[in-house]
Amino acid sequence: MFCWCFPGVSLVCILVSIAGKNVMLDCGMHMGYNDDRRFPDFSYITQNGRLTDFLDCVIISHFHLDHCGALPYFSEMVGYDGPIYMTHPTKAICPILLEDYRKITVDKKGETNFFTSQMIKDCMKKVVAVHLHQTVQVDEELEIKAYYAGHVLGAAMFQIRVGCESVVYTVTAWIDKCRPDLLITESTYATTIRDSKRCRERDFLKKVHETVERGGKVLIPVFALGRAQELCILLETFWERMNLKAPIYFSTGLTEKANHYYKLFITWTNQKIRKTFVQRNMFEFKHIKAFDRAFADNPGPMVVFATPGMLHAGQSLQIFRKWAGNEKNMVIMPGYCVQGTVGHKILSGQRKLEMEGRQILEVKMQVEYMSFSAHADAKGIMQLIRQAEPRNVLLVHGEAKKMEFLKQKIEQEFNVSCFMPANGETTTILTNPCIPVDISLGLLKRETAIGPAPDAKKPKLMHGSLLMKDNSFRLVSPEQALKELGLAEHQLRFTCRVHIQDPRKEHETGLRVYNHLKGAIQWWLHPPAGADVVQLEQGSWRRCSFL
């Protein structure tokens, strides 16, 4: 089994070769770059450019752009024309996020070498949507199955199986005991153990409340779907309970989209959301209104949810630039930010930022990081491995130093091999596939008769000839194998030359070796089947095996 991937939290693109089948897991985009580096370098996969011939399929785990953002580029500009699999919610939401990002990148920033709206539509026509627990037969040997992941709406972990070898790819800690040959898991929070969700929610509400009480503005950069809705519900409930008057705004149109897709795919949500939807429309907010860009200049306190979530472009970055110079204000980053984005810079402590046109922006507003990410933390990843019981683990979607720490911990605690390939590196993972074999009744009776009484708790070693027909195996007696193959009994001799350096004459050396072996090997003159002997032939010694 071979694995090749782009590491780091910036994007996810993994190639798995299993039993002769090639599967690409996710096709993400790096949002920290504004040039060709934003997309994976697909020349690593095959030099001749015929990706459709090389790949058996592509699987997308969920709709976040670092997992699906390069898909239209891959299919419409690079030329992949094979099957693409994702869940129904992911297929519905992907084109919306891709189009939103395309508008920011092309229409507003004027960048080139980017996919068009039509390319997004053409790409999605190639997608095959799958149901949970549906076994999809990609071809005669390769099958995939999706399981609920709970990461974001529509997220799934996928089990890939070829014969008796299997790989599980997951972005969360929710998994059954499946004992795969390889578990591929994200490691965004490889060294982080987060507080309980309730503590984080309490801290979040406290910081927002304190800021608006002192007359400040709160910016919460989010992505269109996912934790944005969770935080909106949290603030809506708190505002109602505390009878607060400061306005809360959400990016125009995103509330309507969220409402539509959460309704459409209600069965993919947790029990709490389903119950809330039955009682009322959970996105018909009393305190949260649609945002207009003119509101950013309004005096007084307010809270604004704006996209995108890493402050790399769009409305969230525009608002940040306006509010950054006021120390009363606060920006709360609720998720991870990749290197190269404004979000990553301010979380790293930078307070003077070089913006477009070489303008220097001084950041005086308070910067808070409060993780509401659905990615598993270090404790969750260890729990995931404990539940799945894989034979090997491969870490992706993380920072190298943190991944190295987690890798050592996994190997020590679970005694399994753990891998974290570098950019463009191929990792070979040895597997011990379990091959089912039918045993002939005659051989079974014979082996049982000559050996000790069978013990159901202990494996029994069986001797025979292994025959394969129509991709199935049978273990039969040598006599039956010869009969079925139409062969007469015969003997094979395998030889291996051994050169001996000895200052004596050749016949003296031969005599010494002969006498030594004669005493050491009792059956020197009449070797049984399977025995090793040594012969002197034309001045060279030869090790022989008789079968």
Structure tokens at 248: 């809360």
C-beta separation of 365 from 327 below 8 A? yes
Structure tokens at 378: 């270090």
Measure the CA–CA gap between 278 and 285, rounded to whole angstroms.
Answer: 16
Strand order across the beta sheet in which 532-537 lies: 493-498, 540-546, 532-537
Torsion of CA 409, 333, 329, 246, to 10 degrees: -130
C-beta separation of 13 from 5 below 8 A? yes
Which residue intervals of 190-307 are DSSP H helices? 197-213, 227-242, 254-264, 271-279
C-alpha closest to that of 171 among 154, 182, 157: 157
Collect all residues with Cβ–Cβ distance below 8 Å to 186 and sequence separation of at least 6: 12, 170, 171, 375, 376, 395, 396, 397, 398
DSSP string, 372-409: ---S-BHHHHHHHHHHH--SEEEEESS-HHHHHHHHHH
C-alpha closest to that of 74 among 29, 107, 105: 29
C-alpha closest to that of 68 among 151, 133, 162: 151
Query: Catalytic pick from 165, 186, 368, 447?
Result: 186
Measure the CA–CA gap between 435 and 245, rounded to whole angstroms.
Answer: 68
**Is 186 noted as a catalytic residue in this protein?**
yes
Q: How many C-beta atoms surround the C-beta of residue 122 within 10 A?
A: 14
Amino acid occupying residue 87: T
C-alpha closest to that of 38 among 369, 339, 465: 339
C-alpha closest to that of 166 among 176, 153, 155, 151: 176
Measure the CA–CA gap between 441 and 241, rounded to whole angstroms.
Answer: 75
Is the peptide bond between 334 and the residue preceding it cis, with omega within 30 degrees of 0? no
Active site residues: 186
